[in-house]
Amino acid sequence: MVKIITGNKGSGKTKILIEAIHDAEKKSNGNVVAIQKGSSLNTDITYKVRLVNIEDYAVEGMDAFYGFIAGILSSDHDCTDIFVDATLKITGRDYAALGDMFDKLAKITPNTTVTLTVSADNDELPENVKKFIA
């Protein structure tokens, strides 16, 4: 399942994401992964959550990002939740391609919830992205 948290820069998406991470960690019977670009979440996330700085793996673009998520899922069958902050900084701002990538992610995540922040106003987004708004 893919869910997105949308809003312009400074609208509180990361705060919502952090609360969702903490809720998932408390409820999960498996592993919770949080992906960030940089170190913005380092002090806010409990040690029980696997925190990944995507910059350490030189992931850029839609295909590389999709492959990264698929790799996490293929190596950790107990992963119940994946959270991603600053999605567009990783993938780029091609909204149509973003929706297509979300569709692909949804196919490989029937037992894992992937929650991503997207820094954009809902009016900017095409329908193939809007359908994933949480």
Which CATH number is 110's domain given? 3.40.50.300
14-36: pLDDT as tens digits: 999 999 999 999 999 999 999 99
Task: Determine contact, residues 84/33, Cβ cutoff 8 Å.
Answer: no
128: Cβ–Cβ under 8 A, 6 or more apart, which residues?
A: 96, 99, 100, 102, 103
Q: What is the mean pLDDT of residues 98-125?
A: 96
Q: How many domains does the chain have?
A: 1
Mean pLDDT of 123-129: 95
Condensed to tens digits (0 to 9), the pLDDT of residues 67-89 reads 999 999 999 999 999 999 999 99
pTM of this prediction? 0.94
